[in-house]
Amino acid sequence: MTLRFYDTASATTKDFVPVHPGQARLYYCGATVQGAPHIGHVRSALVFDVLARWLRFRGLEVTTVRNVTDIDDKILVNSRVSFADDYRGEHPREPWWALAYRFERVFGAAYAALGIDPPSYEPRATGHVPEMHALIQELIDAGHAYPAPDGSGDVYFDVRSWPRYGELTRQRVEDMQDAPDADPRGKRDPRDFALWKGHKEGEPLSASWDSPWGRGRPGWHLECSAMADKYLGSHFDIHGGGLDLRFPHHENELAQSAAAGREFANFWLHNGLVTYQGEKMSKSIGNTVSPQDMLREARPLAVRYYLGQAHYRSVLDYRPTSLQEATAAVERVESALVAARAAQLPLDWRTEDVPEEFVAAMDDDLNVPRALAVLHETVRAANSALAGAEPQAAQPLVAAVAGMADVLGLLQLMSLDGPRDADAAEHRALDALVQDLLAQRAAAREARDWALADTLRDRLAAAGVVVKDGAQGSAWSVES
C-alpha cells in the first residue's frame, strides 16, 4: 500500500512521493520556551516522532528538524514580570536568554522521559539571524515586504502583494483578524505581519541585533521559514505542528517562503489538540495538566501510550481515569513480551515480521488506533500460543508484537525482565520512587526553589542514588 497523508493545505489525503527519492525531510514546530510545557506540546512532538519512526520503517532516510523559539515577546515579558523589581533595561535578575534556556531544558527532559527521539537538528532562532536578514531582503526586493515609514525599525510582509495569501487556511484577507504583533501605525494594512521588530525602549539591548533596518529582533513567523530553508532546502516533504498553529503562524510561514520563491512543503500535517473532559485546557479554569503531572501518576510507558493512542488529527480528551486505562492496555503488551522472555523466546524482529494489517493502517495517514487494534489482537494470539503445550510456536507472534511495539516507540520504555526476576521488580519499584523525587526536584528548579531542589538531591544521595543533570533532563544510578 502506498503511504498516504492528509494535507491540510489541499484538504485531501494524497500519496506521499518524496521530493528526493529515498529520503523524507520533515520540519515541525517545536517549543517557544517562555514557560514549562503542557501536554499539548508533548503530544505534538510525540506525533511527529511516530511519523519519523514510520518513515524510517518504510525504508526512507529521514531528516527531522524541530526548532526552538528562544526569542519572543512572551519570553521578554515573562522575564520582566517575574523579576520586575530588578528589571532595568539590560539587567534583569534572570536574563531573557537564561529563562529561555532553563525552559528549553524542561522541554528536553519531558521529551526524553517519553522516549521521543532527538531530531536530526534542533536549531535555535537566535542562531539564525543572518539567514533571516537575507530572507527579509529577498522579500523587500521582490516587492512583498517594506520597512515601516515611521523609522521604528519594523519591517512588514505586505499581505496584499501576495495573491495567494490565505491559501493554507482557505481564508480571504478581508475576513482575517488584524496581526497584533507590532504597532499598526507603521503598516499599510493592519493584517501585515512583522518580519523584523525594531528595538523598543525598555527592552534589553541583548535581545536585539543590528540589521539593515535598524537594531531589532526577528518576527516569530520568519524564524521557521529561515531555519527550514537552511536545514531542509527550499523544497521539502512535510511541515508539521499543532492545529492551533495553522493561523497565523503557518499561514504566514507559507506566504513569506512562497513569495521569496521557495516551493516549501509538499504536505502540511497538523495534530489535534488536547482537552480536559471535553473542555479546552486553561490556566484560568485550572484544568491544565503538565507532563510532570502525568509522569507522577503513571509510568512513562503509559503516558506515551496515552498521548499516542488517538489518531493524530483528532482531539485527545484527558480524563482522571485516562492514565489508568492506558496503563492497563499497554501493560498487556508488556506482559506478553515478559512471558515470551520467560519462555526463552527472543524478541528480535525483522520488517517482514510486522503484520500487513498494521502496515496498512500506518500507511493510511498514520492510523494508530487501527494499528493498535492489530497489536492487541496479536498479543491475545501470542498469549494463547505461549500458554499452549509448545510455547516455541509463539515465536512469529512474539516477533510481530515486539516489532509493532518498537515502531510505536513503546518497546524501549518497557521493563521486560518480568516479575520472576526479583532484582528487576525491585529496580522498577526503586525507579518509580526515584522518578517521583526527580520530578519534584525538576519542579523546584523550574520555580527556582534551589533550597528544595538541593534537599531532594541530598535525600537521594543519602540513599546511594547518584543524579546526573544533562541537557535532556536528569538520570540516576546507584553508587557501587
Domain range list for the chain: 4-272, 275-413, 424-478
Of residues 201, 257, 266, the one with CA closest to residue 228: 257
Q: Is the pLDDT of residue 243 over 90?
A: yes
- What confidence tier does 423 reach under pLDDT thresholds 50, 70, 90? very low
Of residues 6, 77, 72, 65, the one with CA closest to residue 243: 6
How much is the pLDDT for 473? 60
Helix, strand, coil in percent for the chain, rounding step 5: 50, 15, 35
CB-based contacts of 243: which residues, under 8 Å, 6+ apart? Answer: 270, 271, 272, 273, 313
How much is the pLDDT for 85? 44
Q: Is the pLDDT of residue 30 over 70?
A: yes
Q: Is 414 helix (H, G, I), strand (E, B) or coil?
A: coil
Q: Which three cell numbers stand for residue 131?
A: 539567514
How much is the pLDDT for 163? 96
Superfamily of domain 275-413: Isoleucyl-tRNA Synthetase; Domain 1 (1.10.730.10)
For residues 324-353, average pLDDT: 96
For residues 393-420, average pLDDT: 90
Contact 271, 312 (CB under 8 A): yes
Contact 95, 87 (CB under 8 A): no
Of residues 210, 223, 152, the one with CA closest to residue 184: 152
How much is the pLDDT for 426? 56
Backbone angle region of 200, left / alpha / beta, with phi > 0 → left and psi within -120 to 50 → alpha = beta
How much is the pLDDT for 453? 81
Which stretch of 25-39, 88-102, 346-360 has the lowest confidence by average pLDDT? Answer: 88-102
Is the torsion defined by CA of 30, 35, 38, 42 positive or negative? positive
Give the model confidence (pLDDT) of 55-72 as tens digits.
999 999 999 999 999 999
- What does the DSSP 8-state code read for residue 312? T
How much is the pLDDT for 94? 83
Q: Is the pLDDT of residue 229 over 90?
A: yes
Which amino acid is residue 464, in one-letter code?
G
What's the CATH number of domain 4-272, 3.40.50.300, 3.40.50.720, 3.40.50.620, 3.90.226.10? 3.40.50.620
Of residues 366, 358, 268, the one with CA closest to residue 311: 366
How much is the pLDDT for 421? 40
For residues 429-433, average pLDDT: 70
Which stretch of 147-156, 277-286, 303-312, 334-343 has the lowest confidence by average pLDDT? Answer: 277-286
Share of the chain above pLDDT 70, in %: 91
Q: Which three cell numbers stand for residue 419?
A: 516479575
Give the model confidence (pLDDT) of 273-332 as tens digits.
999 999 988 777 778 889 999 999 999 999 999 999 999 999 999 999 999 999 999 999
Peptide bond into 346 cis (omega under 30): no
Give the model confidence (pLDDT) of 374-405 as tens digits.
999 999 999 999 998 898 999 999 999 999 99
How much is the pLDDT for 219? 93
Q: Which residue intervals of 190-321 are DSSP H helices?
A: 220-232, 251-259, 291-297, 300-308
Give the model confidence (pLDDT) of 200-222 as tens digits.
988 899 999 999 999 999 999 99
Q: Which three cell numbers stand for residue 375?
A: 497489536
Contact 359, 353 (CB under 8 A): no
- What does the DSSP 8-state code read for residue 476? E
User: Can you name the residues that pair with 217 across neighbouring β-strands?
Assistant: 197
Q: How far apart are CA 393 and CA 396, in angstroms?
A: 7
For residues 116-145, average pLDDT: 98
DSSP per residue, 138-150? HHHHTTSEEE-TT
How much is the pLDDT for 81? 61
- What confidence tier does 461 reach under pLDDT thresholds 50, 70, 90? confident
Q: Which three cell numbers stand for residue 252?
A: 504566514
Q: What is the pTM of this model?
A: 0.85
Where is pLDDT greater, at 84 or 1? 1
Q: How far apart are CA 452 and CA 461, in angstroms?
A: 14
